[in-house]
Amino acid sequence: MSTENLYNAEAISKLKELVDSIDIGMLSSYPANSDYVHAVPMSRQEVDDEGNIWYLFSSESESFDHLSADDKVSLLYSDVSDYKFLSINGTAEISEDRARIDKYWNKMVEGWFDKGKEDPRIRVLKVIPAEAHYWDTKSNKLVTFFKVAAGAITGQKTDSGRQGNLEY
């Protein structure tokens, strides 16, 4: 696996490509009274042009409680079918931005809020990445499998994928 660190616009583009293609990631918050992270699956609403990742979530959730006390957050995205992975650490900002709620409202979100778009529990979560690292393949899963198998048989190293930091 080769290292390919990406910077600025390329880094944001890669982050957006991975988050949009995987969609659901594990959002980890840090409870005050625990040695372990609290992780929940979350579907992103948007990755903006600055690389921030946006979600809608409930003020009655454990994640809300944790993030209100400690804005540190981690996101993990995994697509094992295509060997794409992304790890993000950053900070969270919580708001009640009505324009964003209107923008992101859809049938899937509606299923979580029984009072509709006006539900007072709806919060907007903005994750601002501080650091990110990705792993992916340079070709599809089948080609990658054959490259790895060929390398194992021949003893030669194959460049089956890439990994690197995303810095912007």
Contacts of 159 (CB under 8 A, 6+ apart): 1, 2, 138, 147
Return the pLDDT at 160: 59
pLDDT of residue 157: 61
**How many whole angstroms separate alpha carbon 103 and alpha carbon 116?**
14
Whole-number pLDDT of residue 82:
86
**Is CATH 2.30.110.10 the right assignment for the domain spanning 2-167?**
yes
What pLDDT, on the 0 to 100 scale, is given for residue 158? 56
Tokens 């009072």, residue located: 115
- What is the per-residue pLDDT for 146? 46
Looking at the whole model, is its pTM more than 0.85?
Answer: yes
Task: Give per-10-residue mean pLDDT for the chain (168 aa).
Answer: 92 97 97 96 97 98 98 96 94 98 95 95 98 84 48 57 90
pLDDT at 168: 87
| pLDDT score, position 11 | 97
Q: Where are the domains of the chain?
A: 2-167
Where are the strands (E) in 6-118, listed by range?
6-7, 24-29, 38-43, 46-47, 53-58, 72-79, 84-95
